[in-house]
C-alpha cells in the first residue's frame, strides 16, 4: 500500500510524541508534521495533502472541533482526547473515529487500519474513474473508406503532411484527409499542444528539450516552431 500522510495536532508534547511512535510502529504511515495548535496545523494542511488527521479537541485558541469544521478539504479525521463528552459532536463532523486518552496501541491501530482501508478504497475508485475517462476519450478518423477509433491516450503526436494529418500512436500510424488546424480545435488542450505548424504533441509523451526540439518518449524529436516557442516553454 502507498504511504499514508498523517498530521498530528495536540497541545501536549508527550501526546504528540506518543502518536508519532504509534505511527512509526504501523510502518505505512508517514508523520509529515506535529503541531501544538490548530493554527499551526492549518498552515500544513493548506500546503500539503494530508490523508489522516490525528487531532486533540481541547486546545488553546481554536478547539479541535472548530478546526475540523473549517478544513479546506476533508482528510480522515481521528479525534484523540481525554474527554468523552465530545463524541457526539465529533461524529456530527463525520470524523472516522474517536479515541479517548490514554490510548492503547491496539485501539490506535484499529482506528488507523479503518482509516487506511477507506483511503485505499477511495484511491482505487479514483484510479478506476481515471481509466474509464481515458477509455471514453477518443476520436473517429476516416482513412480511405475505413473508419477507426483512436483513443487519445494512445496518441504520441500528430503530423501534418500536405492535405493530410498522420496520427502516430503506440501501435502504429493512421492518415486522414483533413487540416491540422481543424483537428487542433477538437483535441483537449489539457492533453495536447500545438508546437509547430506541422506538429501537435501529447504532453505526457514529452521527455525533454534538445536545442529547438522536443524529445518524446522513445527518442522521437519534434521541432518547435519559432512562433510557438514561448507558448511551449510556458506549458512544458
Both 166 and 230 in a single domain?
A: yes
| Burial per residue of 106-124, b for 16 or more beta-carbon CB atoms within 10 angstroms, e otherwise | eebeebbeebbeebeeeee
The mean pLDDT value of the chain amounts to 89
**CA separation (Å) from 25 to 5, 55, 143?**
14, 19, 60
Q: What is residue 186's predicted lDDT score, i.e. its pLDDT?
A: 87
Q: What is residue 99's predicted lDDT score, i.e. its pLDDT?
A: 93
Among 89, 111, 133, the domain-final residue is 133
CATH number at residue 129: 3.40.50.2300
| Domain count along the chain | 2
Residue ranges of alpha helices (H) inside 48-201 are 64-69, 87-92, 105-136, 180-184
For residues 78 and 98, is the Cβ–Cβ distance under 8 A? yes
CATH number at residue 208: 2.40.50.1020
Q: Rounded CA gap, 151 and 120, in Å?
A: 28
> Between 233 and 132, whose confidence is greater?
233
CB proximity list for 44: less than 8 A, separation 6 or greater: 7, 32, 33, 35, 50
Among 109, 133, 157, the domain-final residue is 133
Among 133, 159, 178, the domain-final residue is 133
For residues 201 and 222, is the Cβ–Cβ distance under 8 A? yes
Both 15 and 118 in a single domain?
A: yes
Q: What is residue 76's predicted lDDT score, i.e. its pLDDT?
A: 96
> What is the DSSP pairing of strand 76-81 with strand 192-196?
unpaired
Both 156 and 116 in a single domain?
A: no
- 35 CB neighbour count, 10 Å cutoff: 20
Least confident residue range of 8-22, 36-50, 67-81, 126-140: 126-140
Both 194 and 170 in a single domain?
A: yes
If you compute the radius of gyration of the chain from its CA atoms, what whole number of angstroms results?
26
Domain membership of residue 148 as a residue range: 138-235
For residues 167 and 181, is the Cβ–Cβ distance under 8 A? no
| pLDDT per residue as tens digits for the range 194-206 | 999 999 999 999 9
Both 125 and 143 in a single domain?
A: no
Max CA distance (Å), the chain = 76
Residue percentage of the chain with pLDDT more than 70: 93
Both 142 and 106 in a single domain?
A: no
Give residue 48's pLDDT band: very low, low, confident or very high (50, 70, 90): confident
Q: Which pTM was predicted?
A: 0.59
| pLDDT per residue as tens digits for the range 169-214 | 988 999 999 999 999 998 988 889 999 999 999 999 998 888 889 9
Both 184 and 109 in a single domain?
A: no
Both 9 and 98 in a single domain?
A: yes
Give residue 82's pLDDT band: very low, low, confident or very high (50, 70, 90): confident
Both 126 and 142 in a single domain?
A: no
Both 195 and 174 in a single domain?
A: yes
Amino acid at each position: 500500500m502507498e504511504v499514508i500522510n498523517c498530521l498530528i495536532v495536540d497541545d501536549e508534547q508527550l501526546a504528540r510524541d506518543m502518536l508519532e511512535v504509534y505511527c512509526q510502529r504501523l510502518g505505512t504511515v508517514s508523520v509529515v508534521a506535529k503541531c501544538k495548535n490548530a493554527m499551526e496545523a492549518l498552515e500544513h494542511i493548506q500546503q500539503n495533502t494530508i490523508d489522516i488527521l490525528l487531532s486533540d479537541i481541547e486546545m488553546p485558541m481554536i478547539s479541535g472541533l472548530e478546526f475540523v469544521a473549517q478544513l479546506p478539504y476533508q482528510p480522515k479525521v481521528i479525534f484523540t482526547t481525554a474527554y468523552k463528552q465530545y463524541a457526539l459532536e465529533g461524529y456530527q463532523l463525520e470524523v472516522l473515529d474517536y479515541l479517548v486518552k490514554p490510548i492503547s496501541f491496539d485501539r490506535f491501530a484499529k482506528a488507523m487500519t479503518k482509516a487506511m482501508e477507506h483511503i485505499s478504497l477511495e484511491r482505487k475508485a479514483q484510479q478506476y474513474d481515471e481509466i474509464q475517462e481515458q477509455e471514453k476519450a477518443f476520436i473517429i478518423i476516416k482513412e480511405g473508406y475505413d473508419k477507426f477509433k483512436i483513443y487519445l491516450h494512445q496518441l504520441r503526436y500528430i503530423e501534418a503532411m500536405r492535405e493530410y494529418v498522420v496520427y502516430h500512436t503506440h501501435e502504429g500510424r493512421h492518415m486522414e484527409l483533413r487540416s491540422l488546424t481543424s483537428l487542433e480545435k477538437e483535441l483537449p488542450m489539457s492533453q495536447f499542444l500545438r508546437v509547430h505548424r506541422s506538429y501537435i504533441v501529447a504532453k505526457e509523451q514529452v521527455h525533454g528539450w534538445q536545442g529547438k526540439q522536443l524529445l518524446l518518449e522513445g527518442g522521437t524529436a519534434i521541432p518547435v516552431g519559432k512562433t510557438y516557442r514561448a507558448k511551449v516553454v510556458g506549458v512544458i
